[in-house]
Structure 1
């Protein structure tokens, strides 16, 4: 059985598509997707500066398009990964009764970094710092499967 993992951030144009792109580079046999808790960017590609920073590291995000997280994702995926506490709270508000799908923080898979969330580079402008964190956590996630 193929493992299905969904990465979730706020707008689905920086952190979650970067996490999806990095993870699919590391674990191409795992089915991945990404989504945002908000719907502002539905149908848009990842943010240009994030795409450029990821491309420099060999992660192609160009085929990804933003979509909004929905309750059906609890059935469609085996694991849902949020980027910060606000994302986790928004995800949990949509959890259907009886759903046992695990929801984790991406940073749970990179405890050595000391980070409890993935900062939003749309605001911080630190695309490379965020990619460092995402790459470390993606390796931890891959190794946990």
Structure 2
């Protein structure tokens, strides 16, 4: 199954939302028979090299997603190569427009644009409020939407 689309999921520190989105999107794509290259990164570099937050790992594991091998990294210029760059919130999208070359800007979207009922909204950062299950609910819904769109060639 050849890779047809590359997707980068982006949040602030790459330890909660974007690694969760990476794992969910990869899993949902595999289940749908869609070959995707999926990665994640943060707009900030505070957690580079660290594994995802233990709470994010626990919430994801409870639903069958394994984040344990992921390590945080910061967005770099070369990430402009991705076909689709999915930001977790408006600030991440704005930061991506600052960090990536102009030719990548039209490939930046909000992750929740994948689900009509959540479009235009942000995936809230669960780092301070512990709403990891709520974040997973949103990410799963949007991942299913992106998989359906990408499978249909849109």
Normalised TM-score (structure 1): 0.94
Name the residue aligned to 1:11. 13
1:87 aligns with 2:89: no
Runs of at least 5 residues in structure 1 that lack an aligned partner in the other structure: none
Deviates more, 1:110-119 or 1:50-59: 110-119
Partner residue, 2:101:
96
Q: Please state if 1:109 is matched with 2:114.
A: yes
Give the C-alpha shift of residue 2 in structure 1. Answer: 2.5
1:49 aligned partner: 55
1:37 paired residue number:
43
Runs of 4+ in 1 over 2 A off after TM superposition: 97-101
Count residues in correspondence.
144
Question: Hey, what's the Cα distance between the residues in 2 that align with 1:53 and 1:92?
Answer: 31
Q: Which ranges in structure 2 are unaligned for 5 or more consecutive residues? A: none
Q: Which residue of 2 aligns with 1:71?
A: 77
Which whole-Å CA distance do the structure 1 matches of 2:117 and 2:104 have between them?
Answer: 30
How far apart are 1:97 and its partner, in Å?
3.9
**1:101 to 1:123, Cα distance in 2 relative to 1, 3 A:** same
Residue among 27, 30, 38 paired with 2:29: 27
Output one character per residue of 1:111-132: Cα deviation in whole Å (capped at 9) or x when no partner: 2136610000002210000000
Partner of 2:139: 134
Report the RMSD for the aligned CA atoms in angstroms: 1.4
Given the two structures, how large is their TM-score scaled by the length of structure 2? 0.88
* Conservation of the 8 A alpha-carbon contact between 2:110 and 2:120: no
